[in-house]
Amino acid sequence: MNTHELIIVGAGPAGITAGVYAARKRMKVLMIAVDVGGQASLSWDVENYLGYQFITGPELAQKFKEHLDHFDVELREGEKATSVEKSGNTVNITTDKGEYAAQTVIVASGRRPRKLGVEGEDEFQNKGITYCATCDAPLFADMDVAVIGGGNAALDAAIQLTKIAKKIYLLEVKPQLTADSVMIEKAKESGKIVFNTDTKVKKIYGDKLVQGIEIVKGDTVEDLSVGGIFVEIGSTPVSDFVQGVKKDERGEIIINCSCETDIPGIFAAGDVTNVFAKQIIVACGEGAKAAIAAFDYVNRMGGKAA
């Protein structure tokens, strides 16, 4: 089996940045990813990535991909990693399409959306329930819809929908919204969003497609007639395929300031880790650090990187 100096699992902001930095170090790099862009491609209004006063998530993800294309990085898109495990001085990676070996691996697999876990959710997934406003908002033109969540992702989704949907019900289980003030102010200015805090989703119902949502506010049970439901209640790290490394109670891979895990040769970067802030610009910085650390590791182990 051909052994790479570095394999990067994931092609979001952290993975792509790691790929660019590693390629500039002339490392032999393979990148494995289900898709390119990661959660960055799910954002709409990106106003805090330096160099762009405003850019959409899909546009920024495309810029990342174009930058990566300038470097000698082998990209295997549409391939899912199922196992990462250290054996001797080699890290073995298994995917749904093959097996690979590397001196080092950077796990930059990001996160997946968290589900509500209520009646009707699985039944109506992709039949009115969606976890990506950027992807699916146009399908709900001129409809009444619900956005579930109160953080930045939920407010971002609601703001996107103001240009498409007829009315947006924002449902948050906590007593108050947790999104940044600027996001809340922008949402209130639209005049299309109905805010509901202290509100719990009890049930999602419909026929062949979503027709409504049953909510609980205090002791009151209400029905909201909606044709679409956007679930924006956070995410969980995609780390289950990485064997042996230490993880925290949320399943995030624990790293030090050099993006090293507790297993030499296995690095991690971005939202899959316990890094404090889950932000595009932070993920990029972590990807750069991980690539530099992997390069140093290969050199210390007598690798051929130059």
CATH at residue 12: 3.50.50.60
Check whether residue 239 and residue 100 sit in a common domain: yes
Q: What percent of the chain has pLDDT over 70?
A: 98
Check whether residue 105 and residue 119 sit in a common domain: no
What confidence tier does 192 reach under pLDDT thresholds 50, 70, 90? very high
Check if the beta carbon of residue 33 is closer than 8 Å to that of residue 11: yes
Domain span at residue 69?
3-112+235-300
Q: Which domain-ending residue is among 207, 231, 255?
A: 231
Residue 179 lies in a domain: yes
Q: Does the pLDDT value for residue 42 go beyond 90?
A: no
Check if the beta carbon of residue 305 is closer than 8 Å to that of residue 299: yes
H/E run at residue 223: strand 220-225
* Residues β-bridged to residue 168: 145, 193
Quote the number of domains for the chain.
Answer: 2
Check if the beta carbon of residue 100 is closer than 8 Å to that of residue 46: no
Check whether residue 107 and residue 123 sit in a common domain: no
Q: Which domain-ending residue is among 181, 210, 231?
A: 231
Check whether residue 125 and residue 209 sit in a common domain: yes
Check whether residue 99 and residue 125 sit in a common domain: no
Check if the beta carbon of residue 265 is closer than 8 Å to that of residue 89: yes
Structure tokens at 45: 């209004």
pTM of the entire predicted model: 0.82
203 Cβ partners below 8 Å, 6+ apart?
118, 119, 120, 213, 214
The per-residue pLDDT for range 136-152, each reduced to its tens digit, is: 888 899 999 999 999 99
For residue 299, count other CB atoms closer than 10 A to its CB: 13
Residue 306 lies in a domain: no
Q: What percent of the chain has pLDDT over 90?
A: 84
Check whether residue 107 and residue 248 sit in a common domain: yes
Check whether residue 239 and residue 106 sit in a common domain: yes
Check whether residue 144 and residue 240 sit in a common domain: no
Check whether residue 131 and residue 83 sit in a common domain: no
What confidence tier does 44 reach under pLDDT thresholds 50, 70, 90? low
* Cα dihedral 297/298/300/306 (nearest 10): -120
Residue 180 lies in a domain: yes
Check if the beta carbon of residue 56 is closer than 8 Å to that of residue 101: no
- For 41, what's the count of Cα atoms within 13 Å in the CB-facing half-sphere? 17
Q: Residues in the chain, how many?
A: 306
